A and B are shown apart, each in its own frame.
Chain A
Amino acid sequence: MNDPYIVLAAILFTIGLVGFLIRRNALVIFMSVELMLNACNLVFISMSQVHGILDGQVAAFFVMVVAAAEVVVGLSIILMIYRSRRSTSVDNLTAMKH
């Protein structure tokens, strides 16, 4: 009875993954990462429901906290990059190339 949730989570994860791989805008990539994280959260909570234990829900909370912290740091980095380069395209950020 939880299959639809798992399917939904898989769809969300795939959308996030593809977005992460093909988009150039750093903000969009960020959103895609969030999408994947939340897909994982959905699986955690569904499985918690299935097994009747709360571990999955605890894990989901952890993920949310970490994701929030990550957004704070990540968005400020992206903002700084935008300020200095007037662009958020990740293809221009190749300073770490060999």
Chain B
Amino acid sequence: MTLLETLDPVAATGAFAFAWLLIAIPAAIAALLLIAGKVTNGFGHFIATLAPFASFVLAVVYFADLLGADPSERAVELTLFTWISSGAWTLTAGLLIDPLSILFVLLITFVGGLIHIYSIGYMAHDPNRRRFFAYLNLFIAAMLILVLADSYLVLFIGWEGVGLASYLLISFWQERPSAATAGKKAFVVNRIGDLGLLMAIFSMLMLFGTTNFQAVDAGAELIPGHWATLIGFFLLLAACGKSAQVPLQSWLLDAMEGPTPVSALIHAATMVTAGVYLVVRSNALYAQTPTAQIAVALVGTVTLLAGAWIGCAKDDIKKVLAGSTMSQIGYMILAAGIGPAGYAFAIFHLLTHGFFKATMFLGAGSVMHGMNDDTDMRRFGALRKAMPITFVTFAVGYLAIIGFPFFSGFYSKDHIIEAAWANQPVLGVLALIGAGVTAFYMTRLMFMTFLGQARWKDGVHPHESPLSMGVPLIILAVGSFIGGMALNGWIGGWLADAVGAEAPEHASWLPHITVLGIITLLVVAAGVALGWYLFGRQEIPTTAPAGSILTKIGRHDLYADTVNEAIFMRPGVALANGVATLDDVAIDGAVNASGRLPGALGGRVKLLENGYVRTYGLTMVCGAVLVGLSLALSRLV
């Protein structure tokens, strides 16, 4: 166990003293929109859109500052206030701006801001648009708390805030029972993950007396190994809940009930990446526990295959993308599970994925916008002419996710596959297969949606979306294209200190040609070819064919809900019913009986009170006689 290189944060000076504004701006706007109410209906969405961009500008300033600083001084800590002071514990709340968190802040505010712009057009006809924007800002604020926190405890506030915002946004169309249910499901499943994070925080408080990142990093190698493993598993559980990893993945597919910008913002670009962030942030702990690390990598691998499987079987365009999100987050978790060699790649893929998945989700929203909110790909087809901007931007996202050379996913995914191959060959091969499957289902989506013959429903007239939706798509598509090239040679060195890894040897925007890279390309090409062979050559039926057993399993989300219902829900309901019956019959019975007994007794005794003096007198005499008799008897004895 070697001592890890970690950054010692310097105190915040100058502009950094105002870092709390990053969070305060969107939070204040959210509060304003919610409290001021209808007054802000007319302009609420504009100021709400400005908020993430204001934070973004601030983040760019900080980023430039960090970029110019000496690598050893690239972490800035801003202590805000003493939060809990009790006995031996003094817990402070503060912000930490380091190479890792600033990247997240940039991604969240920039992609989030574009999604705000897109939502202006997408939600134009919704009567509750103001409330929607308030929730979006609330989400941005919570997510920024999550990534800017300097301790696990503050991170937990953001973690819960993100869960709350996600609940509110998934069930935004609360008049639909399916949306309300989906929101509740996401909330409940996230609670299970939160349990993991809470247990980890409690363990840290017990072991270190603080949850500050620096203190935990420094103390990680001094604690017993089994504690490190235990905390590692707790954090993994938390990451599974938030990042929709197996076995807590079931909420993500249902979460597509929310408005499409929500799917893009929360369930693709930012919120689901919180789990990856948590694991990468806890790198010092995971360095002490190979067991938990392997578990992380395994979970990631299982999820990337499960998500790809689901993506292959679904006909709902948003569900395909949701499956693909699961799968791509699986790649990130796999990379994070590999250890120091993979952390930077996990974050790299997270950033590129944030761009190309947002592009595709917003593109899907644009398609739905033109198709009367239909999501069934079997009723799409030939949309490339009707929606040229959507088609081109979606195609860029498509090329990026399958890893077409020079597009962003090509760089980030190849790195993960290579790192996995070098560390755990089995996982590497599975990740490689996942890449092929990804290419297959995304090709299927492209053919069913944009190419082939039109299979539109009657009365549907596809049209391009307004400019407020088109411009964010174009910007995101540009990001999806150049993101990989721009970051490839730089991100490894930038993150090296923050994640406790060694800076890689010089890398450039040119792809690093290896045998594995060529094999990956071949596998991807095979996936694309298979997709073309099955869905590009022939007419696609408008009703889904029965399909093979694999398709059926995929259509049912690998029966995750069935399993959850059978193992957790039904026994849980039965237990609750049993307890309720016990309460009704036994406990209520006992309590009621104990109440009825004196009542009944009193009913009998009160008959003695007949109001006749002589009865009272006789009673008295009898009493006196009894007393006299007992005295006399006691004398005898």
Q: Using CB atoms and an 8 Å cutoff, list the residues of chain A in contact with chain B.
A: 17, 20-22, 29, 90-91, 93-98
Contact = CB atoms under 8 A, between A and B. Distances in A.
Contact of B617 (A21, A91, A98): A21
B617 A94 contact: no
A90 B613 contact: yes
A96 B51 CA distance: 78
B610 interface: yes
A94 B612 contact: yes
Nearest to A95: B611
B32 interface: no
A98 B618 contact: no
- SS of B interface (majority): helix
A93 B611 contact: yes
Contact of B610 (A90, A95, A98): A98
A43 to B, nearest CB: 13
B125 interface: no
Question: Lowest 7 CB-CB distances: which A-B pairs, in order?
Answer: A94-B611, A97-B611, A98-B606, A98-B609, A90-B613, A21-B614, A20-B617
Interface of B: 606-607, 609-614, 617-618, 621
A29 B607 contact: no
Nearest to B602: A98
Contact of A90 (B606, B607, B614, B618): B614
A22 B611 contact: no
B584 to A, nearest CB: 34
B617 A97 contact: no
B611 A21 contact: no
Contacts of A17: 621
A40 B460 CA distance: 113
Contact of A91 (B609, B612, B618): B612
Given A20-B614, A21-B621, 9 more contacts: A21-B618, A22-B614, A29-B613, A90-B614, A91-B613, A93-B613, A94-B612, A98-B606, A98-B609
Contacts of B613: 29, 90-91, 93
Nearest to A97: B611
Nearest to B606: A98
A36 to B, nearest CB: 10
B472 to A, nearest CB: 83
A84 B610 CA distance: 22
Nearest to A26: B613
A94 B614 CA distance: 11
A97 B612 CA distance: 8
Instruction: Please indicate which of the listed interface residues A29, A96, A98 has the most CB atoms of chain B within 10 Å of its own CB.
Output: A98
29 contacts: A17-B621, A20-B614, A20-B617, A21-B614, A21-B617, A21-B618, A21-B621, A22-B614, A29-B613, A90-B612, A90-B613, A90-B614, A91-B612, A91-B613, A93-B611, A93-B613, A94-B610, A94-B612, A95-B611, A96-B609, A96-B611, A97-B609, A97-B610, A97-B611, A98-B606, A98-B607, A98-B609, A98-B610, A98-B611
A17 B617 CA distance: 9
A17 B621 CA distance: 9
Contacts of B610: 94, 97-98
A88 B613 CA distance: 12
Contacts of A21: 614, 617-618, 621
Contacts of A20: 614, 617
Contacts of B612: 90-91, 94
A76 B610 CA distance: 25
A91 B613 CA distance: 7
B612 to A, nearest CB: 6
A20 B614 CA distance: 7
Contacts of A91: 612-613
Nearest to B608: A98
A17 B607 CA distance: 24
Contacts of A22: 614
Nearest to A92: B611
A91 B611 CA distance: 8
A95 B617 CA distance: 17
A93 to B, nearest CB: 7
Contacts of A96: 609, 611
Nearest to B624: A17
